[in-house]
Amino acid sequence: MAQVKPMRADARRNRERLLRAAAGVFAEHGAGASLDDIARRAEVGTGTLYRHFPTRQALLEAVYLESVEAIAARADTIAAARQPGAALVAWLGELAVGMLQVRGLKALLGTAVTGAEAVAGRADGADRADRACGDCVRGAAERLVRAAQEAGAVRGDVAPIDVLRLVHGVVTACESAGETDGTAVRRYLSLLMEGLTRA
């Protein structure tokens, strides 16, 4: 229901410029980067940024939507090529590496996927936009986790959302370790799968 009428030419152009600028600035300074910076780099008034993206989350969502969709799509590709248990692990690995290496992706998915959000905001359009990214990832996770559970490869008493939250936690663990390469994340991920118990 979003955009029935096409945007005015200058609006469309400014939106494009903002997205490009935001991608660059987020990549350089992380998801908390200055919005002023983004508007300046896009050569656009700050008000214009707010008109197009009323919240930082909305901007993050727009910038990373394609990446998120690509990750979600990978779930089906992987599921078709592997056993359910191995497929889940492989996909979680790709997801985690993405969150770790693409700055901003973790911030976006952290709030979009895991549910609870900041205290300040009311449930408005921004939340709706979040859901686009969140649904994508949650849907993929649900398919893979359910399949793995039916195949007896994953415990039946964990929900897909639990798995996503724990992966988010694992990525946080890697960040605080200062290890942003894939090997560290994969190691923590396998610890999570197999558990710390047992010698």
Please give the structure tokens belonging to residue 116.
């609870």
Is the Cβ of residue 44 or residue 75 nearer to a copy of itself in the bound state?
75
Pick what 24 binds: a copy of itself, DNA, none; C-beta below 5 to 8 Å, kind-dependent.
Answer: none
Nearer to DNA, 34 or 83 (CB): 34
Is 107:182 a contact under the CB 8 Å cutoff? no
Planar angle of CA 69, 71, 73, nearest 5 degrees: 70
10 binds, among a copy of itself, DNA, none (CB under 5 to 8 A by kind): DNA
- CB of residue 134 to a copy of itself, shortest distance in Å: 12
Smallest separation (angstroms) from DNA to the CB of 101: 23
Which residues sit at the interface with DNA, rule CB under 7 A? 7-8, 10-11, 14-15, 32-37, 43-48, 50-52, 54-56
> Considering beta carbons, is residue 19 or 160 the nearer one to a copy of itself?
160
Distance in angstroms between the alpha carbons of the first and the last residue of the chain: 56
Residue type for 41, please? R
Quick count: other Cβ atoms within 10 Å of Cβ 167? 23
> Whole-angstrom Cα distance, residue 142 to residue 140?
5
Classify residue 6 by its DSSP letter. Answer: P
Residue ranges in contact with a copy of itself by CB under 8 A: 85, 110-111, 114-116, 149, 152-156, 158, 161-163, 165-166, 168-178, 188, 191-199
